[in-house]
Amino acid sequence: MRSTRGERTFYLFNYVLLTLAGILCLLPLLHLASLSLSGKNAVLSGFVSLWPRDVTFESYKLLFEGTPILRAFGNSVLITVVGVALSMIVTICAAYPLARREFYGRRWISLAIVFTMLFTGGLIPTYLVVSSLGLVNTYGALWLPALVSTYNMMIMRSFFENIPEELVEAARIDGSGEWRLLLRIVLPLSLPVLATIGLFYGVYYWNSFFNVMIYVNSPEKLNLTVLIQQMVRSQSVLQEINAMDTQQANNITPEGIKSAGIMVMIIPMLIVYPLLQRYFVKGVTIGAIKG
């Protein structure tokens, strides 16, 4: 079917608009990368824009040698991996029974869960609950409040509902129980939504900031996001670097160190997203369609 002239004009307008939006999102990232790779004189002169000048890796070298960024990176990986695993397990266990038509009371349970999207207990009651459970200064305080997202659970439930009922009935005729049906039939058919929801949870846990500031007190347990924020707002980390090696420190600028830290925080998500991108659109759109 050939497109009309109006449709072609509409598509062209969308392509141009989205391309411009993509370029605008990419420019700050290129500028940060250029600052982190440029020499001191080039940065101080203000000539660094979208392409590095006097390329050097001293900022990254001193960042890894003079700051606890590797420990913070490990903490972020631990928080993200364990958090995503726990959240996915709980989300699947909540979405699957609510997707089964024979599950008694699923409508009222779904309404009760959706109610939590509109009204929450608030920050102080949540902190009191976490504190009473003895989870302050532990990563459990980050995992427990975010164990399941209502929005993610509803998307996954809708996706499960769209799985053909004939497959489910055929598996039950063959003697499959609910757990085997879930693990052997439903989950293999749900890779798009699993990858999408996993990405949502991964981005949330990797960028955890506010909860870490509230619940985690030990500097050794801080994640990468909080460490980079402290570097950007405080000069204490930069002063430690200057005291470590005067000759090397003279070849870098605070802007270069800060930019290098931000790039280290961003790069893992830039690597993971393209791997899951082919599932992303399908997982969101199919999970949002009832039929």
Segment 220-225 shows an average pLDDT of 90
Strand, coil or helix: 175: coil
Q: Which two tokens stand for residue 58?
A: 């001293």
User: 91: closest CA among 29, 168, 150, 136?
Assistant: 150
- For 44-103, write each residue's pLDDT tens digit: 777 777 888 888 888 888 888 878 889 999 999 999 999 999 999 999 999 999 888 888
Q: How far apart are CA 4 and CA 1, in angstroms?
A: 9
Which of 24-28, 82-86, 183-187, 239-243 tops mean pLDDT? 82-86
pLDDT band at 17 (very low <50, low <70, confident <90, very high): very high
The CATH class for the domain spanning 58-287 reads: mainly alpha
Segment 212-218 shows an average pLDDT of 90
- For 240-283, write each residue's pLDDT tens digit: 665 555 555 566 777 888 888 888 888 888 888 877 776 666 55
Q: Which two tokens stand for residue 62?
A: 């001193």
Give the pLDDT confidence score for residue 237 in this predicted structure. Answer: 58
pTM for this prediction: 0.84
User: 41: closest CA among 255, 253, 280, 193?
Assistant: 253
